[in-house]
Amino acid sequence: MWKCPKCGRTFRSAGQQHYCGQPPVTIDEYISEQEEEIQPILRKVRETLKAALPESIEKISWSMPTYWQGRNIIHFAAQKAHLGIYPGAEAVAAFQERLAGCKTSKGAIQFPYKKEIPYELIAEIAKWCLQHYYYDDVGGE
Ligand SMILES: [Zn+2]
């Protein structure tokens, strides 16, 4: 067990990422709690998603920045060495070919900070999610 020296909570693994204070309520708060050097990346991801999903509501859901429009469309999260994008398993499958070289798992994509973040591709994935997860639900508007 590891005890965080800042907040005193205990975790199974040493150095476990967590929020020492209150969990963030807004995406601004979320971004401001991350490592300074990755904040510009996170701000750009946020701008990218806002532009791709202009009618979506931004919120924190499952402790992650989330774009919501009738349902959760896409999430992102700052991990230690990569940006996590969580568009759902169907989207990951649909974009599999273009994600060659990225680590993916069911519903999640990892973009290492060391490499160029493909913001345009992230925008395309977000739009795909909106079409498939939102418009399908309301009967192909
Ligand atoms: Zn802590």
Q: Residue 25 has what pLDDT?
A: 87
Q: How far is the CA of 19 from the centre of ligand 1 (A)?
A: 6
The residue ranges of every structural domain in the chain are 16-135
Pairwise CA distance, residues 18 & 13, whole Å: 11
Q: How far is the CA of 86 from the centre of ligand 1 (A)?
A: 25
Residue 87, pLDDT above cutoff 80: yes
Q: How far is CA 6 from CA 15, 63, 78, in A?
A: 11, 20, 20
Q: How far is the CA of 138 from the centre of ligand 1 (A)?
A: 42
Q: In this structure, which residues have their CB less than 5 angstroms from ion ligand 1?
A: 4, 6-7, 20
CATH, range 16-135? 3.90.1150.200
How confident is the model over 17-62, as pLDDT tens digits? 887 877 788 999 999 989 999 999 999 999 999 999 999 999 999 8
